[in-house]
A and B are shown apart, each in its own frame.
Chain A
Amino acid sequence: MLRVLIGWHFLYEGAIKLFNPGWTAKFYLLSSEGMFKSFFHTLAGDTMIGIIDFMNVACLLIVGLALILGVFERIGASIGIVLLILYYFAHPAFPGLEQAGTEGSYFLINKNLIEAAALYVIFLCPTAAYFGLTRYLRPSTLTTSNV
């Protein structure tokens, strides 16, 4: 259930960006704050932004599909964790930094970090073999689970 909910979140974010050709992560990266600000500003540069935008959409879709369909879920969860950690450090919930574009109040812990932790749980306890396409990819598991 948790896996499908997180996958849903990722897939819809990816789909909205995919179907909106004008979308770019540039402004999100340029408004970055905190210790990794200059790194994120470099990613927003003209030479990098095309690749970054493509990678972001591709990763969101891959994570979403992997989690909802229940296929390669540990790889999906790992990519999702990396993405969320990047989002976290682009706009870290550190005291004194402006939390632009967020609702609620945060001190060190924000929703990105919590979602990353939830993905770590999925990484540790994969469920795709029981509930997902992995059932078909690994028939031996299917047999075992049916015994």
Chain B
Amino acid sequence: MAEEKQKGNVSRRSALKGLTGLPVVGGILWAGAVEASQKKKSRESILKTLNINASPPPKTGPMSGDPIRLGIIGFGIRGPQLCRSLGFATKKWLADMKASAEKNAEDTRLASFLEQENLNVEITAVCDLFDVRAQEAADSFSTDKVKVKIYKHHQALLESNDVDAVVIATADHWHAPIAIAALEAGKHVYLEKPMTHNIAETYALQDAVQRTGMVFQVGHQHRQTQSFVTARDVVNKNILGHVSLIQANTNRNSDNGAWQYTIHEKASPDTIDWQQFIGNAPMVPFNPEHFFRWRKWWAYGSGLSGDLMVHDYDRVNCVLEMGIPRSVISSGGIYTHKDGRNVPDVMQINMEFPDFTTGSSQESGKERGMTMVYSATLGNQYSRTTALMGHDATMELGNRLTIYADRNSTRYKDMIDNETIDPNVPIYQYDPSANEVDGITSATAKYFADKGLLYTYRNGRRVDSTHLHMWEWLSAIRNGTPVSCGIKEGFEEAITAHMGGLSYKLGRRIDWDPAKQEIVPIEGFDLDEVLLTDTEKLV
């Protein structure tokens, strides 16, 4: 009897030892399910409230029909990049990229180029003031069917019957004169930024586009970036509330980033058409540094305001459509690159939009007025985000899109109070690049890529945004579809840039008169002269 009792105890203990794990398993699975379900419910509740639609922009029309014949005017740094977006790479670039991809499997630049869709264009003509570059383009792009013709002067190219449209990527001081001549000659135009070099040209180009009816696109390719399209939806749905401040920045700290480009070994008065390069700028003796590093002088370039601020301004303008600021105040100086340049390497531009509104969640009277602060240095590359700062939320804008609720938001008050929303954790994040391994190497390329200026994503695949921007322009020519950066957007960009440059040079506020559609004149100054003159000669 005692033995039986003992046996019973042993088997109960034994069973316990065998089965203890079961309730533990059940408990852990239950805890996991509860935790996951709570997170999911909270996430769904936030997303339902936000209702953001991350849809791509409408697809442009087909590229079928006869090829569009293109003339390339300006084949320095940007020109070859634009040609690659059109499907034409130089032999040297192809060889360099092949070698680089063999060394580094993550360098997908060549593969991406080869995967690009065919835009059905022919390059029939090229014009560059440096013979070596024009020859390189002709040698690389000529085929058995199409021989690329070299033109010494852009006017001769524009008179050619073999050219339907032109891509202009010259120094800034030639942008408008060539674009206007091209439109007058009946050619469609793709023009690099900034659209113009001075105020008078801005109106003249606007007039030429409206008068000729030719298709005109300014090269702000980030308008194709998917995250920016999503950002528009965010603003339209009033997710940010009243945006009172925008910060945008440039941070670069390299020779290349400070426009200290390589001077070609074959540069000489024999290989460069110096007279033609000078154009409407003051004549100076042949100077290869001016030719290759023209961005460092107001006479040919536009400084930080026209060269880089326009990227940031248009990135925000394509989301908010806030137009030309009512007033601008700039400051800065040459603090790092004291190498003879006369454009600043540090610049802050404050743009005021006192009547602009993105909507509000608060009582009436608190929804108007916004400042955009552009802050730039070419002496440091600490990455500062572009942020649209609203009463209810802040949106970081780049190739990624991140939104944080504001702790004192009116719209999200209840969700913050019941801890559905944590202001330290993004309420929304859109990162189409999460599928990609970043193969970008140079600091300047990274700077542009982070801003959403280099590439975007379609159906999870990385695509060059300039390729899409070109596609849009060519579709407008072929199918009559709209362009996203036409004369209206270009006009706003150019005037804003000029206001920034003028304020820096004059050390005073520059106002815009929206009724008269002009920069308010300043007694004693010809504003266009001010824009083109060395700052030191003004004060």
Contacts and interface: CB of A to CB of B under 8 A. Distances in A.
B434 A70 contact: no
A8 B32 CA distance: 11
Contacts of B22: 69
Given A11-B29, A132-B17, A4 B36 contact: no
Contacts of A8: 24, 28
Interface string A110-142: 000000000000000000001111111000001
B24 A68 contact: yes
A132 B21 contact: yes
A18 interface: yes
Best-buried of A11, A41, A136 by chain B (most CB within 10 Å): A11
A68 B39 contact: no
B140 interface: no
A64 interface: yes
B25 A146 contact: no
B107 to A, nearest CB: 12
Interface string B27-71: 011011101110110000000000000000000000000000000
Given A19-B36, A38-B105, A135-B17, A12 B24 contact: no
A18 B33 CA distance: 8
A64 B27 CA distance: 13
B437 interface: yes
B440 interface: no
Contact of A19 (B10, B18, B37): B37
Nearest to B431: A27
Contacts of A12: 28, 31-32
B262 interface: no
Nearest to B39: A20
Contacts of A132: 17-18, 21
Contacts of A26: 434-435
A15 B40 contact: no
B18 A20 contact: no
Contacts of B32: 11-12, 14-16, 18-19
A142 B33 CA distance: 35
Interface residues of B, number: 26
A131 B29 CA distance: 21
A65 interface: yes
Given A11-B28, A64-B28, A16 B18 contact: no
A15 B31 contact: yes
A16 B14 CA distance: 32
A69 B35 CA distance: 23
A7 B21 CA distance: 10
A43 interface: no
Interface in B338-353: none
B437 A135 contact: no
Given A18-B32, A27-B434, A68 B25 contact: yes
A30 interface: yes
B25 A69 contact: yes
B442 interface: no
A94 to B, nearest CB: 20
B20 interface: yes
B21 A16 contact: no
B40 A70 contact: no
B536 to A, nearest CB: 46
Nearest to B13: A146
Nearest to B31: A12
Given A20-B40, A69-B22, A146 B437 contact: no
A69 B20 CA distance: 8
Nearest to B16: A131
A135 B22 CA distance: 14
Contacts of B33: 15, 19
A124 to B, nearest CB: 20
B19 interface: yes
Contact of A15 (B18, B28, B434, B437): B28
A19 B38 CA distance: 11
A60 B434 CA distance: 25
9 contacts: A14-B32, A20-B36, A26-B434, A30-B437, A38-B105, A64-B28, A132-B18, A132-B21, A146-B14
Given A64-B25, A68-B21, A133-B19, 11 more contacts: A8-B24, A11-B28, A16-B32, A18-B36, A20-B36, A30-B437, A46-B435, A130-B17, A132-B17, A132-B21, A135-B17
8 nearest A-B residue pairs (beta carbon): A15-B32, A19-B36, A69-B21, A135-B18, A68-B21, A20-B36, A11-B28, A131-B17
Interface of B: 10, 14, 17-22, 24-25, 28-29, 31-33, 35-37, 39-40, 105-106, 434-435, 437, 460
Interface of A: 4, 7-8, 11-12, 14-16, 18-20, 26-27, 30, 38, 41, 46, 64-65, 68-70, 130-136, 142, 146
